[in-house]
Amino acid sequence: MNNNTKEKPIVGWIGTGVMGRWMCEHIMPLASKVIVFNRTIEKADPLKKLGAHVAHSPKEIAEEADIIFTIVGHPSDVRDVYFGESGLFSGARNKSLFIDMTTTEPSLAIDIQKKAISLGCDALDAPVSGGDVGAKEARLTIMVGGTDGSYEKALPFFSLMGSSTLQGKSGSGQHTKMCNQIVIAGTMAGMCESLLYARKAGLDGKALIDTISKGAAGCWSLNNMAPRILDNNYDPGFMIDHFVKDMGIALAEARLMGLALPSLALVQQLYISLQGSGQGSLGTQALVLALDRINDTHLFSI
């Protein structure tokens, strides 16, 4: 991307929550102008203070921006942002590039690209992994589906948010994210069971993490989420409600492919039990609370 301001694109950003706020901030130097939208308008204040303009609808952004990023909550939110009465496609400009970084259904990613192409535009699905810390520190893993040309156009922006790889055609980014979430579900369960076992056995949790993280048990969940549990910190880097949604998408896709994923289904049920207790807004590390409840051990609490 040329450093000449006149050649920089106008960038739109929809979704300025716990991750989107930081992701947008990182890419602002590449834009001649940044226009943001969030349903809860106050969440756009940090970006407004940095010079971003605040729009009143996705349509307003689409009417002006060259590249538009979206990262919202659920597939229904994505549909509304793109296909709604005041959605992006109602104001799309020719040759605009839409980049959805929400974790959503592969079929929805394909629908978005087809509609974008019909309007003379293009779209990428680019879900991310890394949580709030990865977003803040620009260390996200970005999984992309779409065309080579649009990926190259987006690459300078992705590079300021983390590392990215083009996985294949439209929908491939979302399928890759499903694989990612399947692994996380398993490692999160193993990590939480390990901490429950350690506390019951009277081990020092911090010493445990320091030791086993250096061996074959080392993983992202152990390094990033286990310390939060030991500090009784269940604030969301990634909310249970959103993770349950992701696991539901993965299980639905698996059924379509004739696959049984029993471990994933079990972990999803444990998280659903937390939702049933009104704890869906906690971070995914709160899985340890469900295990503590099942065992009636009372070793962990908020």
Enzyme catalytic residues? 177
Distance CA 260, CA 250 (A): 11
Residue-level length of the chain = 302
Q: Which residues contact 193 (CB under 8 A, 6 or more apart)?
A: 291
Residue pair 189/221 in contact (Cβ under 8 Å)? The answer is no
**Residue 67: CB atoms within 10 Å:** 20
Q: How many CB atoms lie within 10 A of CB 214?
A: 9
Cα–Cα distance measured from residue 132 to residue 153, given in angstroms and rounded to the nearest whole number:
25
Query: 152-185 burial, b if ≥16 CB within 10 A, otherwise e?
Result: ebbeebbbebbebebbeebbbbbbbbbebbbebb
Determine the Cα angle at 167 with ends 165 and 168, to 5°: 135
